Chain A
């Protein structure tokens, strides 16, 4: 890939505040969610399984930029939240199916501050004091009916360090569970998103610093038979271009509407759930939506994205910043606006929305699952989106970071083992 390394030239340049507050793909991207880390959805990936072309892999990551040495209360999922992956299978941007994770924490001994009191060589080790389990449900979003896919499934533990885990990955992979062809994993993984976060220091890229190396994230990974996701139980034939030939995927997190903090006992949560975070494409809320609407974006639904935020898509701020700071010569937005970006969000005449669309027709395989047709773990979406945003013929814009520090794995759950707190 051609590199574009430009030195920073900030004299006389004033950037909008929106450029200064975000972080990575969707890590800490909006003011409200930055205060509620455990439900901050950071990235979504979707690709045809490398091991079975009849299955789709979906990854939803939460809880951004986690230091491995974060004890004694190591990171986990929130017990009071709902984590969901939603799927639109008929192109109308309205979710038809959801997979929902809900978590429950346990501890064996409350009279110690220790996460584990001795070496842990299996998930069922009596030395593992703090644990978490989850229920995975499939939701028919048209009717609201739910089906429990699996229950009381263990979450992989935190990679505390070499003294606690002589073979961490062996223990973590015990958390993989498969039921009727659907495989699930929940737990910490190496942060797969690679980027030079100096981009948010007045587009200060160029050195290609791997700023997300060595940090972890909480991952939900699902591998599902495609036939369980398609509209009306029929997988579109090879070459089909109907609206149901692509799935539209986004992840979200929701919190109970009401929380009472008690003086004399634990908090109580009441009411229905309200969505506080969502993500389909990388970097949409991060850099296309301005500060005034970032929290509103997280509360809203993809089907309304054009009505709510379409003007931002037609005239994005990014190319102006690339010109103002790096003098890249990105063309001015045309009078018709950036309908090319809208077009990328609406393949096969599906409704334009911030959904990660992936073609699931017969014959699709892992080699074709690359952004914006789904998103593979190895895809350099930062370069892709900067290049699309600039829209200058022949110019590839890069942050200088092209790959993750750790290799991804060939088998489920595909993400790399998390960084150790004591390597």
Chain B
């Protein structure tokens, strides 16, 4: 371990900012309100080749997104246990992840009511991408938070974030 200590110190020292230099202002994230799950999936697929894992997390995390997803009752059976299919089934799944939804108060019940007891129901959800983990070592994790249901036109179910 003695051989490692100087290296650790050197690395730590190199990582420090110069004294007196003000930190750069935080970069504005471009809004991604029109970005779909397909856009995210494409970026993740590209990251396998480009290594842009960190950039994806930085850009997407915290964004408010509106996605059309499929709620299967079995996989979204309570406000505390709700995953939805981000991509249609009946085609070879190119990615395994299913977004985890956490709801604004009362919104799970609204979703369940809107789906009217159907085993499957397509909805448009809007929420904050509060957690996004992408890496070459661990599975992709997508959490949409503060998801809210907004009644849409007749025959449709819309969800929106407050």
Contact = CB atoms under 8 A, between A and B. Distances in A.
Interface of A: 16, 289-290, 292-293, 295-297, 299-300, 304, 306-312, 314-315, 317, 320, 332-339, 342-343, 346, 349, 351-352
Interface in B132-162: 137-142
Given A314-B89, A336-B72, A306 B139 contact: no
Nearest to A93: B81
Contacts of A335: 89-90, 120
A311 B95 CA distance: 7
B75 A342 contact: yes
A307 B142 CA distance: 8
Interface string B89-113: 1111101111110000000000000
B89 A346 contact: no
Contacts of B85: 310-311, 314, 337
Given A308-B140, A309-B139, A336 B119 contact: yes
The 5 closest A-B pairs by CB, nearest first: A308-B139, A309-B96, A337-B89, A310-B98, A311-B93
Given A311-B95, A339-B119, 6 more contacts: A292-B48, A297-B139, A307-B98, A307-B100, A315-B89, A332-B90
B74 interface: yes
B72 A337 contact: yes
B53 interface: no
A311 B92 contact: no
Given A306-B83, A333-B90, A346 B137 contact: no
Nearest to B98: A310
Contacts of B93: 311-312, 314-315
Nearest to A337: B89
Residue of B48, B87, B95, B119 most packed against chain A (CB within 10 A): B95
Contacts of B96: 289-290, 293, 308-312
Contacts of B77: 349
B80 to A, nearest CB: 10
A46 B77 CA distance: 28
A338 B119 CA distance: 12
Nearest to A300: B139
Given A310-B96, A343-B74, A351 B81 contact: yes
B98 A306 contact: yes
B119 A315 contact: no
A78 to B, nearest CB: 21
Contacts, number: 95
Nearest to B87: A311
Nearest to A332: B90
B90 to A, nearest CB: 5
B72 A339 contact: yes
Contacts of A300: 138-139
Contacts of A312: 93, 96
B62 to A, nearest CB: 19
Nearest to B83: A306
28 contacts: A292-B48, A296-B138, A296-B139, A297-B139, A299-B137, A299-B139, A304-B139, A306-B83, A308-B96, A308-B139, A308-B141, A309-B96, A309-B97, A310-B75, A310-B83, A310-B85, A312-B93, A314-B89, A315-B89, A320-B92, A332-B90, A333-B90, A334-B90, A337-B85, A337-B90, A339-B119, A342-B74, A352-B74
A119 B87 CA distance: 63
B74 to A, nearest CB: 5
A47 to B, nearest CB: 27
A365 B90 CA distance: 40
Nearest to B99: A307
A422 B93 CA distance: 48
A300 B137 CA distance: 10
Contacts of B97: 307-311
Contacts of A310: 75, 83, 85, 96-98
Contact of A307 (B83, B92, B137): B83
B92 to A, nearest CB: 7
Nearest to A289: B96
B119 to A, nearest CB: 6
Nearest to A320: B92
Nearest to B77: A349
A293 to B, nearest CB: 6
A130 B119 CA distance: 59
A339 B96 CA distance: 15
A92 B83 CA distance: 15
A16 B138 CA distance: 22
A292 B142 CA distance: 18
Interface string B70-88: 0010110100010101110
A175 to B, nearest CB: 37
Contacts of B81: 351
Contacts of B142: 307
A331 to B, nearest CB: 11
Nearest to B93: A311
Contacts of B91: 315
Which of B74, B86, B138 gathers most chain A CB within 10 Å? B74
Residue among A295, A334, A336 with most chain B CB within 10 A:
A336
Contacts of A333: 89-90
Contacts of A309: 96-97, 139
A86 to B, nearest CB: 18
A315 B70 CA distance: 14
B26 to A, nearest CB: 29
